[in-house]
Amino acid sequence: MPIYEYKCEVCTNIEEQIQRHDVDEIECPVCNNTAKRIISLSSFELKGGGWYKDGYGTKKPESKPSPPKTSDGVTKAKPIKDE
């Protein structure tokens, strides 16, 4: 079962509990009022290989048009513009 955090609305105590996913409120152990489940940070990290190396999350490089070539395979130079 997952660990959830609950915060009391009266005394602002934060309590960690191992609960089923459908338990939204518990009794605060400090003041016996209602404590509601809060969203907290996760310790989940994606490290190393795996899905990222499989191509997800990366953009495909844009292909640049190649410069025109002459019949003998030499690249043509661009004309210089006068300003």
pLDDT at position 9, please? 92
User: What gap in Å lies between CA 2 and CA 35, rounded to an integer?
Assistant: 17
Give the residue-averaged pLDDT of 65-83.
68
Q: Which residue range is the domain that position 13 belongs to?
A: 3-38
Is 54's pLDDT higher than 60?
no
Q: Does residue 10 lie within any of the structural domains?
A: yes
Give the residue-averaged pLDDT of 20-35.
92
Q: Does residue 57 lie within any of the structural domains?
A: no
Q: Does residue 30 lie within any of the structural domains?
A: yes
pLDDT at position 19, please? 85
The DSSP result for 37-59, as a single string, is: EE---------SSSTTTTTTT-P
Q: Does residue 11 lie within any of the structural domains?
A: yes
How many domains does one find in the chain?
1
Q: State the pLDDT confidence band at 44, using cuts at 50, 70 and 90.
A: confident
